[in-house]
Amino acid sequence: MKIIMKTVVVIATSLLLSLSVFAGSGDNNEKKEKESKSVALVENVHAVQLTGSVVDEKNKEALAGAAIVVDGKKYYSDLDGNFSIRDVKPGRYEMVVELISYEPVSLHVDLMKNEKLNISLLQK
């Protein structure tokens, strides 16, 4: 009789443990579904690209190394005076472009779609 009771207790314990494991995995699936929905919402955020070039106002030569500050972040023009800022959220931004020995330029940009700007700096 003791052997039958031990067997019944072992089987009952196994069943309870199995049920608790399966119940816990359902919660994980629900959490994963919620997380994947959140990720999908974030991926749907529309981002735009701001590109352009920086040149000398008088001779139209490309200005390498000009600092372009957008939304507190600093970017630089390449050797050909070109710059590219990716993954910008649509909206209105103040943009400052500066380079040593040139007058800084401050402008407001409304980004609703990809924009290409041509910026001219005047030498001091």
Band of the pLDDT at 40, cuts 50, 70, 90? very low
Same domain, 68 and 89: yes
| DSSP state at residue 102 | B
Confidence category of residue 25, pLDDT binned at 50, 70, 90: low
Instruction: Write down the pTM of the prediction.
Output: 0.62
What is the domain count for the chain? 2
Residues 10 and 30 in one domain: yes
Beta strands 82-88 and 91-98, pairing class: unpaired
Strand intervals (E) in the chain:
48-56, 67-70, 73-76, 82-88, 91-98, 105-111, 115-121
Range of the domain at 61: 48-121
| CATH code: domain of residue 62 | 2.60.40.1120
Provide the pLDDT for residue 101: 96
Are residues 58 and 31 located together in one domain of the fold?
Answer: no
Q: Structure tokens of 80?
A: 């050909």
**Predicted confidence band at 87 (pLDDT cuts at 50, 70, 90)?**
confident
Q: For residue 67, give the amino acid letter.
A: A
